[in-house]
Amino acid sequence: MLPPGFETIEKYVGYWDVPTTSERWERRAAASMDEIRAFYDDMLAHADQALDVIALHDINAMPDDVATLARLMLALMSAAVAIEVVGAPRDPYSPYPHSVRVLRGPSPWG
Amino acid sequence: MNIETKSPVPGFDDSYTLALGLDTGPLSTDPYISPAHYELERERVFGRAWLAMGREEQVPESGSYIVRELEVCNASVLIVRQKSGGIQAFHNVCSHRQNLIMNSSEGRAPRFTCRYHSWTFGTDGALLSVPDERRFFDFDKKKCGLTPIATEVWQGWIFINMQSEPEVSLAEFLGDFGKFYTGVPFPGSGHSLKFEANLDANWKVISDAFAESYHVPSIHNKTLRPAFSNASNPFARPIRASAWGPHSAYSAFANLEYAPPENALGERLAYRNMGANNIISPSGANEIDKLLGHPSINPNNSAEWCSDANVIFPNFHLDVSFGGFFIHHFWPTSHRSTRWVAEYFMEPAADFQTRLQQEYYAIRNIEVLLEDIGNTERVQKGMETRAKRNIYLQDGEVIIRNLLHHIDRWIKADSAREALDL
């Protein structure tokens, strides 16, 4: 499912590869801090390598395995905000579940 | 307005509130909780003011349309690009039995057909065809077109006015603000990151949440405080405030020393192509430089600038920051409920590094917006306890004061012209 060389992060595809920004936020909010930390550490360890592979392809015409890797990198952004900014899967003072609908995310995979 | 408040007050030589000639006292909570006040707003504010509805890019070609529900005016509004190139709004109501015609919120159609009995209207609102027309009595198709709503476009922004013959033009309504903002480019207008929520709070409670930066170091302690305050400005005081009648603006402070912390590896990854000043923005495109270079953006040319929030009366915020522009709409659905819509405009990413940066921006924004709007329903409940009958506003919350002052003016005025002092 991922390009060769990324076998060690293959295990994250099932949970973290979701189609939209909103769902990536939801996956992170519903995970435990230990799960987010494990994903974050492993993804960061492969980030430079992943960005190099992704950069070889047009953003709107990626092979499926590269697109999956790209979406995992987007999920890393969601994990990073939890680890580096909020310090929790979600802000304890913000409503959860919340009523904010993301009608349209950034393109593609928004 | 109490002119006495213009006189100097100790410690307030630099007061925005006094400079704008506004009162300084506590303000009643009635406009936030009173159903009677809401009815007056419906009739006298939303029924008479020009209301911003969207961007002209949302209706790019002849027959392109958007539909917007305007509960506060009991209206469903169909906004259509004309063959002539202009834009016209209509009531989305069939002339036959008054069914709402278009169901989808956007699209393109050569003509509009009501599903109930297939009455069909042109993009100019004219009634084109009626099945079995000759069985109607004394029927004049020419009198049965869609009902138009006054429509004008300013700088690409579509406005409507619910008065059948608006008392004032859009240019008169926007006044000196309209002139001040003429020529400001709006890059990325064709695509936005769009959020919406239905909230149990008066529309002004939510507008107020985005009309001051005093809350930033407190409620946004983790998400924004490090970038938008520092030892020289620990309370994130605004660096400028302006008012043009009912419209107003403030500029927020940026901590120039802010850089992502050493251990914020994800954030650094997102922004690794960017200069320090572009932190927490969705894009670094060249068009953004043209926007930021306009003299009406950061008008005091302050080095420590992060954003301008322009509050366009009554319910529209048009904001600019390093990353481009973004808007808020606060659509009342009752005296204590609001549909809030926020859009952050950005070009679709041409490369993955830009897309990664946009994702970081979007996710961090979700956190910030949840902090902002998550609090609004608690504020509404607090006011509705009636334990307190007043709110206190400090100098940095001057934009809220200006809005409340002008809503009061519009409610008391016999005409929009009088409310605007024209």
Q: What is the pLDDT of residue B10?
A: 58
Residue B346 forms contact with A (CB below 8 Å): yes
Minimal Cα–Cα distance from A3 to chain B, Å?
17
B206 and B271 both lie in a single domain: yes
Does B388 reside within a domain? yes
Does B44 reside within a domain? no
Cβ–Cβ of A100/B362 closer than 8 Å? Answer: no
The whole-angstrom separation of Cα B396 and Cα B240 is 9
Average confidence score pLDDT of chain B: 93
Segment B199-238, tens digit of pLDDT: 999 999 999 999 999 999 999 988 889 888 999 999 999 9
Judged against a pLDDT cut of 50, whether residue B270 lies above it is answered with yes
- B residues 138..197 contacting A (CB < 8 A): 191-197
User: Residue B202's domain is classified under what CATH number?
Assistant: 3.90.380.10
B206 and B159 both lie in a single domain: no
B11 and B66 both lie in a single domain: no
- Could you tell me the residue range of the domain that residue B131 belongs to? 51-177
The whole-angstrom separation of Cα A3 and Cα A10 is 9
Q: What is the pLDDT of residue B276?
A: 43
B282 and B388 both lie in a single domain: yes
Minimal Cα–Cα distance from A45 to chain B, Å?
11
DSSP track, B317-366 = EEEEETTEEEEEEEEEEETTEEEEEEEEE-PPPSSHHHHHHHHHHHHHHH
Model ipTM over 0.90? yes
| Confidence bin at B284 (pLDDT 50/70/90) | low
B202 and B168 both lie in a single domain: no
B130 and B227 both lie in a single domain: no
Kindly list the residues from chain A whose CB atom is less than 8 angstroms away from the CB atom of residue B371.
91, 93-94
Cβ–Cβ of B265/A110 closer than 8 Å? Answer: no
% of chain B surpassing 70 pLDDT: 94
Helices (H), B87-235: 170-180, 203-209, 216-219, 225-228
B216 and B103 both lie in a single domain: no
* Mean pLDDT score, B18-30: 96
- Residue owning tokens 């430079």: A48
Residue A41 forms contact with B (CB below 8 Å): no
* Mean pLDDT score, B368-381: 93
Residue A93 forms contact with B (CB below 8 Å): yes
Helix (H), strand (E), coil (C) string for B249-310? EEEEECCCCCCCCCCCHHHHHHCCCCCHHHCCCCCCCHHHHHHHHCCCCCCCCCCCEEEEEE
The whole-angstrom separation of Cα A38 and Cα A52 is 22
Does B105 reside within a domain? yes
B396 and B290 both lie in a single domain: yes
Does B43 reside within a domain? no
Does B133 reside within a domain? yes
Cβ–Cβ of B265/A44 closer than 8 Å? Answer: yes
Does B45 reside within a domain? no
Strands B75-81 and B106-108, bridge-based pairing? unpaired
The whole-angstrom separation of Cα A4 and Cα B156 is 48
| Confidence bin at B275 (pLDDT 50/70/90) | low
B362 vs A2, A102, B141, B195, B281, CA distance in Å? Answer: 25, 10, 50, 10, 9
Degrees (nearest 5) of the Cα angle B143, B145, B150? 110
B200 and B55 both lie in a single domain: no
Among candidate residues B46, B43, B101, the one with its CA nearest the CA of residue B70: B46
pLDDT < 70 positions in chain A: none
CA within 13 Å, CB half, B32: 28
B173 and B320 both lie in a single domain: no
Residue A8 forms contact with B (CB below 8 Å): no
Give me the number of domains chain B comprises: 2
